[in-house]
Amino acid sequence: MTVSIIYSVLLLTSLGIIAAIILYLVSKKFYVYEDPLITEVEEILPAANCAGCGSPGCRSFAEKLVGTEDISDLFCPVGGNDVMKSIANLLGKEVAEKDPTVAVLLCQGSCDMRPKTTQFQGPDSCAISALVFSGETDCQYGCLGKGDCVESCLFDAMYMDKETGLPVIITDSCTSCGACVEACPKNIIEMRPKNKRDLKIYVGCMNEDKGGIAKKACAVACIGCSKCFDVCPKDAITMENNLAYIDPYLCTLCRKCVDVCPTHSIIETNFPPKKKKTLPIPSKEKKIKVIVEPLNSNNDA
Amino acid sequence: MLKTFPKGGIHPHENKITSSKAIKRLAPPKVVYVPISQHIGIPSKIIVERKEKVKIGQVIAKSGGYISSNIHSPVAGTVTKLDKFFDSSGYKKQCIVIRTDAKDKSNFEEIDLPLLTEIKLSEKDILQHITDYGIVGLGGATFPSHVKLNIQKDKNIDCLIINGVECEPYLTADHRLMLEKAEEIIVGIQILMFALHIEKAIIGIENNKKNAIENFKELTKNNHKIKVAALKIKYPQGSEKQLVRALLKREVPKNGLPLDVGVIVHNVGTIFAIYEAVQHNKSLTERAVTVTGKKIKDPSNFWVKIGTPVIDLINEVGGLPEDTRKILNGGPMMGKAIKNTNVPITKGTSGILVISEEEAERKKSSNCIRCGECVFVCPMGLEPHLLMNLTEKRMFENAFNEDIMTCIECGSCSYVCPSHRPLLDYIRFGKSIIKTLEFAKDKK
């Protein structure tokens, strides 16, 4: 009895020792050196694995950051300048500073503005719809409204507005990873710099048709009249294929173009309402009340 | 036992309601919209200017490369616009708009060309005529014919197949053509056999067109080189690969052409166009089109000028029924819904099908129940349910390895699916994505 117990204990112990020796030798033989910096960098990165940087995930981006000498081309759009700076401090390399960007939808063709002339019965997918035809409306450049971009968004920064039939981008949640830009078959989502207080002016239209045809298909289409082009003091607006485009880096947000646009296809976001619109309204008691909103209070969140 | 292809296939309701209606010639439309991209390959280059006067058969757009084709003016008149209009692709494409000259007599002449049986041209001249007069495959794929006929010397071609199958339900344009222009088609076959030095030709016709089969048998009684074969009624027999398999028991390799097994396949419509181009120097400016639908008052077959807006044809058959939901360019299986009624007829339009509300309704799709119906009917031996799942999950490389690119898009799988799954929509989507990906290019 005791002998058999001793035997089995000895056998298992010796087996354990042999296995430990083999494991030790193998781990020595096949040892792979991994820079401990990679794990450290990965911990700084936002761990969203969104592929917005061009690498398939945060780990491989960290490897790239540690491995390459010059990392000024690499940028994590989700983490932004803060994350890149702390990585640069850790690695002792230099990074380029980029303005934070945000996705904007270059289409205002809601159901009221852009009436549907046909109906698509196929699967709910913009990509498949785009394969079959130009879309349910007469505008062949605008939003198809099937929500491929919403599906591609990993950060819940988009939703479909059922009333307008267009996707809405929640600017605060948008990390500008660019997944929606890739998902859109009509290329109507653009990354534009998120200026101070998220002030943006852009042409919300991609219609390259001639004015009359564009206007017939959609009430808020850019008709290529060049009025904004003429009024712009900084030459930030270019006209190409009957379509205006505002260069965000030249635009000084003066809002002159917004006023002249006859079809209201130039969108301004988060600006305080203009003083013109809040002219003194005579009330019934004929007391004059002036409504002036403080300039900086609005939409700062 | 009639011949057919062994794998898969379906038998949808035929509904060939216009098979007894002779092909009528229409008065020329007031305005024609001629798209410059009516064929597979490079779009043609416009060589006319605005306000220029053009004659019937004048080249208005020149071939843009090797796989391309000339486009001729279908009417005599004035070019009024060079702009983009919706065509059958569902997108706005460059078109040449020509206003028909009401005073020009050539627009209204009844063209009744006599039968010319003697072949006067040399082999080289025949191929030159086919190139110059803008002949493309009229079965629907619109592949430029001169490319198909320009055979490298190392390929040994021993058989010419004439595709008179017309397996799409509703369509009867080819059937009527085979009845009315049978002698011309025989001459057309002889022209091709002479030009390409082929000794054998087979006309394949489905057995629902018995009068056409007998007509051809009668005409080729003394000609042992041309055979007529009756085929079992089965969709998609009109597809090249299936037809070659049915008639000759030769399997066209995947990603290959019938040329690889020594066969050339041409549609009867193309053969007739080749006859007219070679014997009468006539360019391809009109084609036979079936205008049909269950609710249409007077469905019929027409000779239609290329570029005629669809609405002109629908007015000719008694107007659009009230409960119309869809108008298809082509047959019910492979046809594509058009965006508006001004879409022009092109070289590839074999029929216009008007579909009512209850027929058009697409049923709600549910989950796959793994019944295997789609696998059973696929004529290419693919697994459509698998291909759809893979493309839906964006696993394109796996889909490519499952031979998604060999799909002929016949739609049999979507037709039989008891869960009404949009199988073909996803397979088409997968194919379009894979064409742009790198790995597919390497392997090809």
Whether residue B423 sits in one domain with residue B381: yes
Whether residue B331 sits in one domain with residue B211: yes
pLDDT (tens digit per residue) in B200-232: 999 999 999 999 999 999 999 988 899 999 999
Provide the sign of the torsion angle of the four alpha carbons B54, B55, B57, B58, taken in this order. Answer: negative
Tell me: pLDDT of A279 over 60. Answer: no
CB contact, 8 Å: A241 with chain B? no
Of the listed ranges A44-53, B57-66, B227-236, B419-428, the least confidently predicted one is A44-53
Final residue belonging to a domain, choices B314, B338, B361? B361
Distance (Å) from the C-alpha of residue B42 to the closest C-alpha of chain A? 19
CATH superfamily of A36-91: Electron transport complex subunit B, putative Fe-S cluster (1.10.15.40)
Residue B395 placed within a domain: yes
Is B365 in Cβ contact with A123 (below 8 Å)?
A: yes
Residues of B in contact with A127 (CB under 8 A): 429, 433
Residue B49 placed within a domain: no
Per-residue pLDDT at B377: 95
Q: Indicate the pairing of strand B53-54 with strand B77-86.
A: antiparallel
pLDDT (tens digit per residue) in A94-153: 888 888 889 999 999 888 889 888 888 888 899 999 988 888 888 999 999 999 999 999
Final residue belonging to a domain, choices B361, B390, B411? B361
Final residue belonging to a domain, choices B361, B381, B396? B361
Residue B121 placed within a domain: yes
Mean pLDDT of B77-100: 91
Residues of B in contact with A123 (CB under 8 A): 365, 422, 425-426
- One of 3.40.50.720, 3.90.1150.10, 3.40.50.2300, 3.30.70.20 is the CATH number of A101-277, namely 3.30.70.20
Is A123 in Cβ contact with B422 (below 8 Å)?
A: yes
The 3 state secondary structure assigned to chain B is CCECCCCCCECCCCCCCCCCCCEEECCCCCEEEEECCCCCCCCCEECCCCCCEECCCCEEEECCCCCCCCEECCCCEEEEEEEEEECCCCCEEEEEEEEECCCCHHHCCCCCCCCCCCCCCCHHHHHHHHHHCCCECCCCCCCEHHHHHCCCCCCCCCEEEEEECCCCCCCCHHHHHHHHCHHHHHHHHHHHHHHHCCCCEEEEEECCCHHHHHHHHHHCCCCCCEEEEEECCCECCCCHHHHHHHHHCCCCCCCCCHHHHCEEEEEHHHHHHHHHHHHHCCCCCEEEEEEECCCCCCCEEEEEECCCEHHHHHHHCCCCCCCEEEEEECCCCCCEECCCCCCECCCCCCEEEEEEHHHHCCCCCCCCCCCCHHHHHCCCCCCHHHHHHHHHCCCHHHHHHCCHHHCCCCCHHHHHCCCCCCHHHHHHHHHHHHHHCHHHHHHC
Tell me: pLDDT of A284 over 60. Answer: no
Whether residue B301 sits in one domain with residue B173: yes
Per-residue pLDDT at B277: 93
Whether residue B244 sits in one domain with residue B328: yes
Helix (H, G, I), strand (E, B) or coil at A192: strand
Query: What are the backbone angles phi and psi of residue B336, rounded to the nearest 5°?
Result: -120, 135
Whether residue B384 sits in one domain with residue B343: no
Residues of chain A with CATH 1.10.15.40: 36-91
Per-residue pLDDT at A289: 46
Whether residue B431 sits in one domain with residue B292: no
Whether residue B335 sits in one domain with residue B379: no
Residue B102 placed within a domain: no
Q: Are B262 and B179 in contact (CB under 8 A)?
A: no
Residue B33 placed within a domain: no
pLDDT (tens digit per residue) in B135-150: 999 988 889 999 888 8
Provide the sign of the torsion angle of the four alpha carbons B296, B298, B303, B308, taken in this order. Answer: negative
CB contact, 8 Å: B92 with chain A? yes
Per-residue pLDDT at A276: 54
Whether residue B218 sits in one domain with residue B162: yes
Whole-angstrom Cα Rg for chain B: 22
Per-residue pLDDT at B5: 92
Residues of A in contact with B340 (CB under 8 A): 117-118
Is A133 in Cβ contact with B337 (below 8 Å)?
A: yes
Total number of residues shown for chain A: 301
Per-residue pLDDT at A166: 93
**Averaged pLDDT of chain A:** 86
DSSP-assigned letters across all residues of A250-285: T-----HHHHH-TT--EEEESPPPPTGGGPPEE-TT
Nearest to A122 among B92, B340, B425 (CB): B425
Whether residue B410 sits in one domain with residue B346: no
- Mutation test of the interface with chain A: which of B95, B326, B328, B339, choosing the one with the most A Cβ atoms within 10 A? B339
Where in the sequence is the domain holding B164, given as residue range(s)? Answer: 1-25+116-361
Whether residue B293 sits in one domain with residue B430: no
Residue B30 placed within a domain: no
Whether residue B240 sits in one domain with residue B337: yes
Is B362 in Cβ contact with A134 (below 8 Å)?
A: no
Residue B5 placed within a domain: yes
Helix (H, G, I), strand (E, B) or coil at A3: helix
CB contact, 8 Å: B428 with chain A? yes
Residues of chain A with CATH 3.30.70.20: 101-277
Whether residue B324 sits in one domain with residue B398: no
Residue B16 confidence class, pLDDT cut points 50, 70, 90 = very high
Total of domains in chain B: 2
What's the DSSP call for residue A45?
S
Residue B267 placed within a domain: yes
CB contact, 8 Å: A152 with chain B? no
How many CB pairs lie under 8 A apart between chains A and B?
44
Hey, what are B123's tokens? 């082999």
